[in-house]
């Protein structure tokens, strides 16, 4: 298959491109990415001379650019998005443009070019937070809490509306929090590891007892690949680790502190995120039964490997923690008591 992968220079997109090139020697990939602050071609350095890989710089909200890049691609997998909840609280504009308008543009291209498949990479955040013991099903109502998750929910509704109206061959995935190599250091796990390696404290929002169901990024990539090849058109698939017992943020941080031989004085409790979702959890039985998907990397093992990756790859993250990042960090954290 020839695939147009949008947002391929970001965290999950770059891991997905590696996954495809490694596991599907017959596939070709066009990586279509705007290269925002979160896009980083260093994530793909090792494949840039692969004949099956091409990079195209462009914006998914710009239809002419998408049409120029699409060539004879048969499918689009849309990872492109503005993705950081905290940034969506500071300024939602880019979220509305990329996550909603960009998705609409891609759907129009699928319709016009009669593509065979469109995969929308959504998120468990569209369900909003849920009480302990509840696991959201794909048919549950969408109750997003932040401008980020509201923009992702709007995109999901557009995808489903294009399915109903024009019978497009679309599918949606909704995954829990990913972690692993190549994650921009504004997100909790890479922020914690890189701050500690720089001898800086780690900001913990509120009481730190919020729960995320952390999934190793390669497990998510395998799920998206299964959806691409075996998923049923018009369907939504949840992915998550089903971590049992659950790991609140503080437990994650404590494991990282231990691995890096740092003490409790590196925890900095700060004001909570506005509208902070307390707990996410999804029911993954549909992906397990229909696609034969299961997570393979446990959190203890995956977190250890991830911390080691950031320890070894200071050449990767040092350049990122400068300029734009520092200005953002100051705005987000300086007066946060
Ligand atoms: P990321 O922020 O690391 O990367 C986003 C990529 O999209 C970057 O390369 C950026 O340059 C590109 N991009 C942004 N705007 C664009 C535009 N207008 N046109 C083209 N490219 C653009 O994101 P991520 O964490 O890899 O997330 C990828 C997708 O997965 C997103 O859709 C996100 O909502 C979803 N998701 C993320 C997680 C997670 O834990 N990170 C979990 C579930 C779902
Ligand atoms: O659930 C899937 C979502 O996971 C994706 O859709 C988003 O794109 C992705 O960014 C992620 O959202 P979160 O808001 O859960 O991720 P983040 O890494 O920002 O935060 C994880 C948890 O850690 C959350 O409860 C907030 C907390 N946190 C985060 C930061 C950055 C802190 O306590 N301190 C921090 O400095």
pLDDT tens digits along 157-173: 999 999 999 999 999 99
Query: How is the chain split into domains, by residue range?
Result: 2-179+216-239, 188-210+244-278+298-334
Q: CATH number of the domain at 188-210+244-278+298-334, please?
A: 3.90.25.10
Q: How many angstroms separate the CA atoms of 33 and 13, rounded?
A: 10
Q: How many angstroms separate the CA atoms of 84 and 205, rounded?
A: 15
Q: How many angstroms separate the CA atoms of 93 and 99, rounded?
A: 10
pTM of structure? 0.99
For a mutational test of ligand 2's pocket, the pick from 149, 177, 273, i.e. the residue with the most ligand atoms closer than 8 A to its C-beta, is 177
**Burial of residue 330, with CB atoms counted within 10 A of its CB: 0-12 exposed, 13-18 middle, 19 or more buried:** exposed
Provide the token pair at 57.
């710089």
Q: How many angstroms separate the CA atoms of 126 and 143, rounded?
A: 6
pLDDT tens digits along 178-221: 999 999 999 999 999 999 999 999 999 999 999 999 999 999 99
Which of 63, 42, 64 shows the shortest CA–CA distance to 55?
42
Provide the token pair at 81.
């998005």
Ligand number nearest to the C-alpha of 16: 1
The CATH fold assigned to 2-179+216-239 is Rossmann fold (3.40.50)
For a mutational test of ligand 2's pocket, the pick from 94, 146, 188, 193, i.e. the residue with the most ligand atoms closer than 8 A to its C-beta, is 188
Mean pLDDT over each residue of the chain, to the nearest integer: 98
DSSP state of 174: E
Residue 334, pLDDT above cutoff 90: yes
- Tell me if residue 148 is catalytic: yes
Residue 337, pLDDT above cutoff 90: no
Beta bridge pairs of residue 113: none
Q: How many angstroms separate the CA atoms of 38 and 184, rounded?
A: 6
Q: What is the pLDDT of residue 161?
A: 98
pLDDT tens digits along 92-131: 999 999 999 999 999 999 999 999 999 999 999 999 999 9
At 74, is the secondary structure helix, strand, or coil? coil
Contact present, 111 and 162 (Cβ < 8 Å): yes
Q: What is the pLDDT of residue 216?
A: 98
Q: What is the pLDDT of residue 113?
A: 98
Strand-strand pairing, 170-175 and 215-216: unpaired
Which of 122, 172, 167 shows the shortest CA–CA distance to 148?
122
Q: How confident is the model at residue 10 (pLDDT cuts 50, 70, 90)?
A: very high
Beta bridge pairs of residue 53: 29
Contact present, 297 and 218 (Cβ < 8 Å): yes
């Amino acid at each position: 298959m020839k695939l147009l992968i949008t947002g391929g220079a970001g965290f999950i997109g770059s891991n997905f491109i590696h996954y495809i090139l490694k596991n599907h020697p017959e596939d070709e990939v066009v990586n279509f990415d705007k290269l925002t602050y979160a896009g980083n071609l260093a994530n793909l350095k090792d494949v840039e001379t692969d004949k099956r890989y091409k990079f195209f710089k462009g914006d998914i909200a710009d239809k002419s650019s998408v049409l120029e890049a699409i060539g004879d691609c048969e499918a689009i997998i849309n990872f492109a998005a503005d993705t950081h909840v905290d940034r969506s609280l500071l300024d939602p504009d880019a979220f509305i443009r990329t996550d909603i308008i960009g998705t609409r543009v891609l759907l129009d291209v699928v319709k016009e070019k009669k593509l065979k498949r469109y995969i929308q990479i959504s998120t468990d955040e569209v369900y909003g937070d849920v009480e302990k013991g509840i696991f959201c099903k794909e048919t549950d109502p969408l109750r997003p809490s932040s401008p980020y998750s509201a923009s992702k929910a709007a995109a999901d509704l557009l995808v489903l509306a294009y399915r109903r109206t024009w019978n497009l061959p679309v599918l949606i995935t909704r995954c829990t929090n990913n972690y692993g190599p190549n994650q921009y250091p504004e997100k909790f796990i890479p922020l914690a590891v890189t701050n500690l390696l720089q001898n800086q404290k780690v900001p913990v929002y509120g009481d730190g007892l919020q729960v995320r169901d952390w999934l190793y990024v390669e497990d998510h990539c395998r799920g998206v690949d299964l959806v691409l090849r075996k998923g049923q058109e018009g369907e939504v698939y949840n992915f998550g680790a089903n971590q049992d017992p659950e790991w609140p943020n503080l437990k994650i941080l404590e494991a990282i502190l231990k691995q890096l031989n740092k003490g409790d004085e590196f925890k900095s409790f700060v004001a909570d995120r506005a509208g902070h979702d307390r707990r996410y959890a999804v029911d993954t039985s549909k992906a397990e039964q229909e696609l034969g998907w299961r997570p393979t990397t446990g959190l203890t093992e995956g977190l250890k490997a991830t911390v080691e990756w950031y320890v070894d790859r200071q050449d990767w993250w040092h350049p990122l923690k400068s300029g734009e990042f520092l200005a953002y960090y100051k705005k987000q954290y300086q007066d946060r008591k």
